[in-house]
Structure 1
């Protein structure tokens, strides 16, 4: 069924507004020109600010670049080269090469699994940047489904798991993985299958951050909507057909603009206030604050389409059937048994104010992976951060990154089994003395049958 009316409306709106955007951009240029005597007047500043805001709110945001050309360590600046080391139609594996960094060959390999949930992998730019001085970093760069020709075929959750396994084989044994949000379930499944099959390239550790492992625990509005509506509602109301002239013309997708609309609707007042604040910063000439707003929304407003097969299988498997925590998930007919994971370490991280993946949903992996030794299975609850703050921002850099580095170092030093720190299931991230590692206030997840 060719369903693309909302997509046509979206494309038409961009086309209709193109002349207005051009006029607005020209107006902004005229009224910020220092040779214009009106540019330094309140009238000129208001006109310039309003024109820029209109243009930014109506433009089409393309795929951003990582732009990580260098980093500083101990006062020395080292170059960074971005290299595609593995490629398939729906994903490239990027490697951030640091050719001049002393001791780089001895640092642990870290493969960051970016979410395939509407935003590009560049949303994790800050995540990559935080680990560049300390790890040999790779990241999954998922493709925009509307840019993948229909002849390539569809892409579903099983394909996602196959891609992860293939990339792990390419990087080789001993790699540490970091799954941000959505990849938590397929990453767990990939590692379980690899360990069940005795594959030598199974990762040394998994760090899962704000992921929907068991959405029955502390359900958010996103989780409640999925259960309330059911799979068929999403099929009828969320899937569209890519229009001409995109390379993916005819492909059925979940459009990125629908996902972005949903995200913004959840915190509409915050986004409205942010744009009003930007207007005020521009009028006042506060360039630094305005630039921070530009950087954030240049990334946040850039979205990609998801293949319909992947989107629907994920909704059904993760959010409606809860197949993984129930022990009912399969991959191409093979059961996904988390009890098979015995060698990989596991660190789960959650944000206290996460309104996408509630507290306890990611921690559920700690209880489902019953055969991972306790010393290799840790939990951290970060106070005063929401979903985005789990993988980006000042608290991420100052508090979460050191935890992850400490965990990776512990796994690397296999000969030493450290004593459990006091208290790791409390809201401050430390282990409870009685060994009960559950986050406060969450119910115990059911064991895999």
Structure 2
């Protein structure tokens, strides 16, 4: 992606609704003749109300908009549950902060809160960290992933897209605390910074490996090097992460190669949920922690998949457990499936990249997994600003189309 928006045709949104599928198709055909004649306004067959049947087109030109409007509608059933998903470390990336703050007022407000907290707690500039992208330290990586995801989630909530439940992965649990109303954003941001500074005091950063292995195989492999290697995350039936010292990781890679199990190293600043974390667990448990309320919607624990409560999260030992025990995203997904009771789930992942989609779609095959700022299809030659803006608009359009909110304020971006 290029770094300039000079001369770019910006994405625009067209929303159409009707009280029947046939009427919607008729309106789409009419609009396709000159899509931008409607500007950013809603077009319905009954101007006073929004129809049950909806189409949303996000495009840079009229030909592209017409193609979207005339394409057969995607069938997603009748989704009834909206999930917000918050990833852990590894989900960071370069963000066009100035442009997003210009077009997203709620995002700007909450990012500003997190920025002041990061400056107070760690003396760092959150905006510079986000503009740079992947961090070389836990501090840079963690505050970036936390603040970007939480601030963008508050923007979606401001548009009327309120989650039915939240799925956090490891570090993502802290963003979930803030977004669900369990904790104040500023206090949580300060905790995330202080926690990361403690993590950065570990001399050996270690290595994390993703392997397409069954849990029992991964556990047996980790047990051979119990003081140096552990199962750090379980994302699905054949999706696990091993974490530990560099030497233990190399031995694990040789064993995985011998068993012909695909694996890859993760680009992360430290080996989370590994034996290396045992040396800082007590320090993290002793850090000042935000005052907690009960959540506005279920937040499934990244440790065991159970709904979080203020009493449970308030326990200092749990903060150590959150560092040491494996992240069980598979259990959080199972809890989501049980809560949905057969209804289709649409999940929005609040990271620069979609790192949880594979596990989510494998566990919830009837679900839809959207990136909060990821374009549906890659567009070559476009600026970073364009790609983020379009990605956000496309995801908001998809949620509007599925009936999760009646407002269309997101078109103002």
TM-score of the alignment, normalized to the shorter chain, above 0.5: no
Q: Return the TM-score normalized by structure 2.
A: 0.29
Larger Cα Rg: Structure 1 or Structure 2? 1
Q: Return the TM-score normalized by structure 1.
A: 0.27
